[in-house]
A and B are shown apart, each in its own frame.
Chain A
Amino acid sequence: MEIRLRRTMLYIPGNNPGMLQIADIFGADSVLFDLEDSVPHSEKDSARDLVSNMIKYRAYENIEITVRVNPLNTPYFEDDVKEIIAAKKLQAIRLPKTNRAEDVDKLAKLIGKYEKENEIAIGTINIHPMIETALGVENAFSIATSSVRVNAITIGGQDLTADMGIAKTKSGEEILWARSRIVMAAKAARIDAVDTIFADINDKNGLIEETRLIKKLGFTGKAVINPRQIEPIHKIFTPTEKEILWAQEVIETYDKGLKEGKGVIALRGKMIDPPVVKRAEKIITISKLGK
């Protein structure tokens, strides 16, 4: 199974060549070229042509390339999928307003068709369903397990609160249940959970507070709308020196204990059992990937 950091997924408006051409210099783990909300209806065709050409000809380095297409029920959806797959270097498609497993199935079939047409190995392109309706939240687990292509699910806070008929607040209590539900679905499906954006780009403390919260809940990363938001999020999602030392010590002590045939293994009076070792190993893996 692929292990990749998705601490940050940077949205880039699909009709902005100046931003698209430098998308990989900001240090985000993934870029998210947007054909949906940031592109007016009159420019859907030009954004699609531009994003396809960027993916095809611009040699982006060390970054996951993903595109948010227009929703299934729009006239742009199939052309978006067709054109961006033909560019050949796409890694994942973010499907907005995913309400049920059948939505993912429709996209997966279409991806398969265009992978074949473009001689791309079947299964190369992943799907990141975006859950942003009450119905989508209720169907989170079936969406998360709807296709082997789904390796992350995401939440869209603004659309979700609009669908619920309430306001999206900075503190976000109103989406706590949805966040928790989506994280649990992702954990059960053994895939990543990526949080919604933090809209106030000038409020660094607010961003830090929210990122700490969503990390505690179990999210593996967050979508960002401004390069300035990348560094604070990476800092929170990257293990500290102290955590790395603890993890190394746990693994060493556990291995030594096993060799010595000990029944109960402890580090400074605290028992080390397989779940603790698993967490320590994850810390080491993330610290290596995050360098």
Chain B
Amino acid sequence: MEINKKSQAGSLESSDLMVYVEPFNEIKIEVESSVSSQHTEEIRSLILNELEMRKINGVYVKIQDNGAMNLTIKARLKTALLRGAKNGN
């Protein structure tokens, strides 16, 4: 999968997160979490796994987490990546 435009998904509501993605020449992940620094690392690792699984080599991902479950993080990331991979617009 190739990310060719900026996109985002999610919200800043409690139990949710904002995911921003944009094209980049390598993998860069930035995480802010309202929960804890340990959780920040867990999210980073989860994002990295998801990117590897989708064979994405170049993307900048920024996360603003507000206590989301892992399954929510995965869903929001998927939506943001699919939106960013669409051609046109």
Contacts and interface: CB of A to CB of B under 8 A. Distances in A.
B14 interface: yes
B70 to A, nearest CB: 8
A78 B13 CA distance: 29
Contacts of B76: 46, 49-50
Given A50-B72, A52-B75, 9 more contacts: A17-B15, A17-B72, A18-B13, A21-B15, A21-B69, A46-B76, A53-B71, A56-B71, A58-B69
A106 B71 CA distance: 31
A109 B85 CA distance: 31
A53 B82 contact: no
A54 interface: yes
Contacts of B82: 45, 49
State the main secondary structure of chain B at its contact with A. helix
Interface in A162-219: none
A46 B69 CA distance: 15
Contacts of B79: 45-46, 49-50
B32 interface: no
A53 B13 contact: no
Interface in A42-88: 45-46, 49-50, 52-54, 56-58
Given A17-B72, A50-B76, A53-B72, A45 B83 contact: yes
Nearest to A52: B75
24 contacts: A17-B69, A17-B75, A18-B13, A21-B15, A21-B69, A45-B82, A45-B83, A46-B9, A46-B79, A49-B75, A49-B76, A49-B79, A49-B82, A50-B76, A50-B79, A53-B72, A53-B74, A53-B75, A53-B78, A54-B71, A54-B75, A57-B71, A58-B69, A58-B71
A46 B82 CA distance: 10
Interface of B: 9-10, 13-16, 68-72, 74-76, 78-79, 82-83
Contact of A50 (B13, B70, B75): B75
Nearest to B17: A17
Nearest to B14: A18
Nearest to B74: A53
Contacts of B74: 53
Nearest to B8: A46
Contacts of A21: 15, 69, 72
Nearest to A51: B75
A18 B15 contact: yes
Contacts of A58: 69, 71
A50 B13 CA distance: 14
Contacts of A54: 71, 75
Nearest to B77: A49
Nearest to B82: A45
A-B residue pairs, 3 tightest by C-beta: A18-B15, A53-B75, A46-B79
Interface string A98-128: 0000000000000000000000000000000
